[in-house]
Amino acid sequence: MRIGELAARAGTTTRTLRYYESRGLLPARRNDNGYRTYDENDLKLLRQIRTLQDFGFDLEETRPFVECLRAGHPEGDSCPASLAVYRRKLDELDALIGELQAVRAKIGLRLAMAEGEPPLCELGGQEL
Amino acid sequence: MRIGELAARAGTTTRTLRYYESRGLLPARRNDNGYRTYDENDLKLLRQIRTLQDFGFDLEETRPFVECLRAGHPEGDSCPASLAVYRRKLDELDALIGELQAVRAKIGLRLAMAEGEPPLCELGGQEL
DNA sequence: TGTTGCCTTGACGTCGGCGTCAAGGACTAC
DNA sequence: GTAGTCCTTGACGCCGACGTCAAGGCAACA
């Protein structure tokens, strides 16, 4: 299969695939006329990448999963390096969620304070 | 006070202040030799901007707060436009936190699955 | 007078993950 | 042959919030 078909089947673009190749993430075979050629396994690798991207992994973080699949393992996360990425990501997510919740609390408090105070503004008593 | 002192007192850089000015967020008076001149109120505006930036507001979102202060109100959030930004930010945060928690759950599940499965890898029984 | 240290404007660089355009080659259908 | 659709490489654009460098002006002090 050529690049256009692979892109379509994975729901992405040819530009994206060339970008992945430029990053060494998804190299392609070439046929006689220089066209990139892919097989079903490449589609599997690509879908792995896309799934992780949807989770918020950046490209470099997907590399262990891709290499794991390319090494013949049934799942991208069948290898220790992938699990390490999972764990690091969980820690990052926990930290981020915690920070966001803290910020949310602060803003919520400020909003309540500002709403509770007499307006002091040129506000004409709209429904608060 | 000149730009360097203001930057130092707000814990930021002169580049940042010039950037804010270029965005129309923190315009400066000029003295005879062309140097930017700021007063204590500018420091207050700047601290308002920085606080909101720390909360993850982007620059444009801080504008209503700055204009509120410049209009003479005691707090940046004493005006309806600022409260509207607060509310929008709360909604965004709730949505984002929800998405991150969903992703966290999915990754956690995948990690548990991958750890529960027999390794299938060239792993030498490290502590999992 | 010279040196230091602040200031000025202008402009290019950064980061990630591509989008978008340009110029041209390859292949198919009619 | 030629129109249309795919493919190729190369290169610039984008976004936000600045960092960093260059070339030069202004002020104070020895």
Within-domain flag for A63: yes
Within-domain flag for A128: no
Choose among A90, A104, A123: nearest Cβ to B104.
Answer: A90
Structural domain tally of chain B?
1
Closest CA to B112 of A86, A46, A13, A59: A86
Interface test with A, best of B86, B87, B91, B117 (most A CBs within 10 A): B86
- Beta strands in chain A, from DSSP E residues, in sequence order: 29-30, 36-37
- Beta strands in B2-116, from DSSP E residues, in sequence order: 29-30, 36-37
B31-80 pLDDT, tens digit each: 999 999 999 999 999 999 999 999 999 999 999 999 999 999 999 999 99
Distance CA B43, CA B45 (A): 5
Please state the separation of Cα A73 from the chain's center in Å: 22
CA distances from B31 to A67, B28, B34 (A): 62, 10, 5
Within-domain flag for A25: yes
Choose among A78, A79, A121: nearest Cβ to B80.
Answer: A121
Give me the amino acid identity at A121.
C
Domain that holds residue A76: 3-116
Within-domain flag for B128: no
Cβ distance A78 to B107 less than 8 Å, yes or no, reads no
Choose among A104, A110, A114: nearest Cβ to B93.
Answer: A104
Tokens 């992938």 correspond to what residue?
Answer: A82
Within-domain flag for B42: yes
Q: Are strands A36-37 and B29-30 parallel, antiparallel or unpaired?
A: unpaired
Residue B100 pLDDT > 50, yes or no? yes
Rounded percentage of chain B residues whose pLDDT exceeds 70: 91
Cβ distance B97 to A97 less than 8 Å, yes or no, reads yes
- CATH for B97: 1.10.1660.10
Cβ distance B74 to A101 less than 8 Å, yes or no, reads no
Within-domain flag for B124: no
Within-domain flag for A122: no
Mean pLDDT (chain A, rounded): 92
Residue A116 pLDDT > 90, yes or no? no
Residue B1 pLDDT > 50, yes or no? yes
Tokens 């989770």 correspond to what residue?
Answer: A55
Average pLDDT over residues A37-56: 97
Read off the tokens for B60.
Answer: 């444009």
The confidence band for A69, taking pLDDT boundaries of 50, 70 and 90, is: very high
Within-domain flag for B105: yes
What number of C-beta contacts closer than 8 Å exist between A and B?
Answer: 92
Cβ distance A78 to B126 less than 8 Å, yes or no, reads no
Read off the tokens for B41.
Answer: 């109120």
B62: CB within 7 A of chain D nucleic strand: no
- CA closest to A71 among chain B residues: B121
pLDDT of residue A104: 97
Residue B118 pLDDT > 90, yes or no? no
A91-107 pLDDT, tens digit each: 999 999 999 999 999 99
Identify any residues that bridge with B36 across adjacent strands, giving them in sequence order. B30
Q: Give chain B positions within 8 Å (CB) of A103.
A: 55-56, 93
